[in-house]
Homo-oligomer: A and B are copies of this chain.
Amino acid sequence: MARLAGVSFKTVSNVLNDHPQVRDTTRERVLAAVNELGYRRNLTARNLRMGRSGAISLAVPELSQSFFAQLADDVIQVAAKKDLVVLVEQTGGDRERELEVLRSPRLAQTDGLLFSPLGLRPEDARPELLATPTVVLGEPLFAGPVDHVTMQHRAAARAATEHLLGIGRRRIVLLGAHDGETATVADLRHSGYREALHDAGVALDPALVVPIDVWSRPNGARAMAALMDTGAEFDAVFAMNDDLALGALRSLQERGVRVPQDVALMGFDDISDAQFSFPSLTTVEPGRHEIARLAVEYLVERVGEADAGPVPARTTAPDFRLVVRESTTR
């Protein structure tokens, strides 16, 4: 401790916290001593005293999926602007591990949680699990006193399907359905697809609705190949996310199917790779930046709740945007 400045350690604390009650000469003397000794105050002790850590947790399925990597990128940047630091956990989209994250005492180390669950079911939303301020991303899960920053899943999927219908396609494959789910991302996007077909008076062919559990590139490629093996006829593919779409693109090209001439292709998420595939991928930009911004903002408010009084639970879904590229034109 720098009492070579000839002051008490409390005065050092005062200087470092910019308390006004410090004479300028003293301040300088202290700062000099601090520099000399390379003194750094102990943040852990500070956190203990203050009851805040200045860190938030972000729990995502996995960073290897571009969408979550880019979401994490956004979140970290927004948080940095608010002088928050981000602790990243990976759940693998597995229900057990998602519950474990919620239960984990490590959560207590941070001020709040940005949570992007995949496997969790509504009945898991037990309030005692939410001891920490939490904002849920993407999934419209939980009913309790939790903020949600989600996407316009249904409306966007509907717009996507309408776009394919609008360029004259009628036999549109849906890639990535999840059977037997309600009000999940997969279910909502599926509804949007169904609605668009219905409104256009196009019959829904169940053979074109392809269930895929995990929305990864290899799974997209496999499912697309398998569908072609069945001899199914189709002139467009709407994939539940870009990874599926890019996997499917690969399988289509392997078999000499021309995109978009023979089959138009459309994804969801607007990951950066979508710009550089050949053909580039038409997709839905779900408002990722805005989601990250709002999520951090909500969480900060909720963390401050103890001081500022209760905050009502909010649910927001930013505007999406259809990004039309080569895979549905040209």
The stretch of A36-44, A184-192, A300-308, A312-320 that contacts the partner chain: A36-44
Pick the residue among B70, B106, B253 that contacts A63 (CB under 8 A).
B70
Max chain B Cβ within 10 angstroms of own Cβ: one of A43, A62, A72: A43
Residues 93-108 of chain A, each 1 if its beta carbon lies under 8 Å from chain B, else 0: 0000000000001101
Is B76's CB under 8 angstroms from A276's CB?
Answer: no
> How many residues on A have C-beta within 8 angstroms of the other chain's C-beta atoms?
51
Is B247's CB under 8 angstroms from A276's CB?
Answer: yes
Give CA–CA (A59, B253) in the complex, Å.
38
Instruction: List A residues 6-64 near B (Cβ within 8 Å).
Output: 38, 40-45, 47-48, 53-55, 62-64
How many Å from the CB of A88 to the closest CB on chain B? 5
Contacts of A73 in B (CB 8 A): 62-64, 90
How many Å from the CB of A220 to the closest CB on chain B? 8
Given contacts A55-B87, A272-B217, A278-B253, contact A40 B108 (CB under 8 A): yes
Give CA–CA (A312, B106) in the complex, Å.
32
Give CA–CA (A85, B55) in the complex, Å.
12
Q: State the main secondary structure of chain A at its contact with B.
A: helix
As for how many copies of this chain the complex holds, the number is 2
Contacts of A54 in B (CB 8 A): 106, 109
Give CA–CA (A299, B267) in the complex, Å.
40
A261 at the interface (CB under 8 A from B): no
Is A38's CB under 8 angstroms from B131's CB?
Answer: yes
A89 at the interface (CB under 8 A from B): yes
Is B48's CB under 8 angstroms from A45's CB?
Answer: yes
How many Å from the CB of A303 to the closest CB on chain B? 15
Is B47's CB under 8 angstroms from A221's CB?
Answer: no
Contacts of A40 in B (CB 8 A): 105, 108, 131
Is A76's CB under 8 angstroms from B89's CB?
Answer: yes
Given contacts A63-B72, A73-B63, A106-B85, contact A44 B41 (CB under 8 A): no
Pick the residue among B38, B69, B77, B221 that contacts A128 (CB under 8 A).
B38
Provide 14 A-B residue pairs closer than 8 Å at the C-beta atoms, listed in order of the A residue. A38-B128, A43-B106, A43-B108, A43-B109, A44-B44, A47-B109, A54-B106, A55-B87, A63-B70, A63-B72, A85-B106, A217-B273, A246-B276, A247-B276
Known: A63-B70, A218-B276, A278-B278. 4 other contacts (CB 8 A): A40-B108, A64-B70, A72-B88, A254-B278
